[in-house]
Structure 1
Amino acid sequence: MSTRTSETTVTFGHPFRLAAIGDAQPAGTYRVVVDEEEILGLSFLAYRRTATTLETPAIAVRGGPHAFHRVDPADLEAALEADGKAPRSV
């Protein structure tokens, strides 16, 4: 079974909360990593998401500890919409 990983960023203009992260996070641009695995047995190539991870703190923050939080993609999408961003796939 083959897997793939993609990386993107999301930008929040205001502080936000996600269920997977207890504390409110400050506005900024955050790295998001998505892991997917191939769905076998189909006549075409397809993948299913196995994990979505958000790295804290924001990219612009230098030094200090970094943490990787496994988040629900729907929760992340809802937080982006609440922040006033256009819907996007993450």
Structure 2
Amino acid sequence: MSAKVTTRQITFNHRFALANMPEAHAPGTFDLVVEQIPLDVSWEAYRASCQLMLVDGGTTSAISVTMAELEAALLADSQHDVNSGLS
């Protein structure tokens, strides 16, 4: 089995921060690269490795992130307007 790589776009509408980021990042649409690495077992199984590609001032950096952390950040972003009283 070989590794499977997929890319999808993730959008944050507000400033956000993840564990591996030195500071909050401006909102925008970013690429999430997910590499599924095969495990050495007798059935088909993979371990996911995720990288969020952040572009800032013409420089692109890859931030390692777990899906759970990313989903929590996206949920917090989507609830930002609700919590601030905006529509």
- Alignment TM-score, normalising by the size of structure 1: 0.75
Task: Give the equivalent residue in structure 2 for 1:48.
Answer: 47
* 1:34 aligned partner: 34
Q: How many residues align?
A: 78
User: Which structure is larger by alpha-carbon Rg, 1 or 2?
Assistant: 2
Cα root mean square deviation, aligned: 1.8
Q: Which has the higher helix share?
A: 2
Deviation of 1:55 after TM superposition, in Å, equals: 0.7
Runs of 4+ in 1 over 3 A off after TM superposition: none
Deviation at 1:4, TM superposition (A): 0.9
* Structure (1/2) with the larger strand percentage: 1
Identity in percent: 36
Residue by residue, what CA displacement relative to the aligned partner does 1:10-45 show, whole Å, maximum 9, x if unpaired?
101111110111110111101000011224311xx4
TM-score normalised according to structure 2 size: 0.78
Gaps of 5+ in 2: 80-87
